[in-house]
Amino acid sequence: MMQGNKIRRVAATRMNERSSRSHTIFRIILESKDANQKDGPVHISYLNLMDLAGSERVSLTKACW
């Protein structure tokens, strides 16, 4: 996560001092199983967090590329 944050692009707009200029996707994979069952099934879940760049209205923010 820290490595991705280092290369993340941000810029100031009229609406936001640190507006994201790049997409960020962070995926967490969770594995769990019953501690009482030695050979029991493993349950896998995925949590996806996304920050999509450029969601503000360009006409209002005066953002330029």
**Is 41 a domain residue?**
yes
**Is 62 a domain residue?**
no
**Is 61 a domain residue?**
no
**Is 30 a domain residue?**
yes
Say how many domains are in the chain: 1
**Is 63 a domain residue?**
no
Per-residue confidence of the chain (65 residues) as pLDDT tens digits? 777 767 776 766 666 676 666 677 889 999 999 989 888 999 999 999 987 766 556 565 555 55
**Is 37 a domain residue?**
yes
- DSSP string over 1-65: -HHHHHT--EE--SS-TTEE-S-EEEEEEEEE--TT-TTPPPEEEEEEEEE-TT-S-HHHHT---
User: What was the pLDDT predicted at 32?
Assistant: 95
Threshold 0.85, pTM exceeds? no
User: What was the pLDDT predicted at 15?
Assistant: 65
Tell me which residue range forms the domain holding 10.
Answer: 2-56
**Is 64 a domain residue?**
no
User: What was the pLDDT predicted at 23?
Assistant: 74
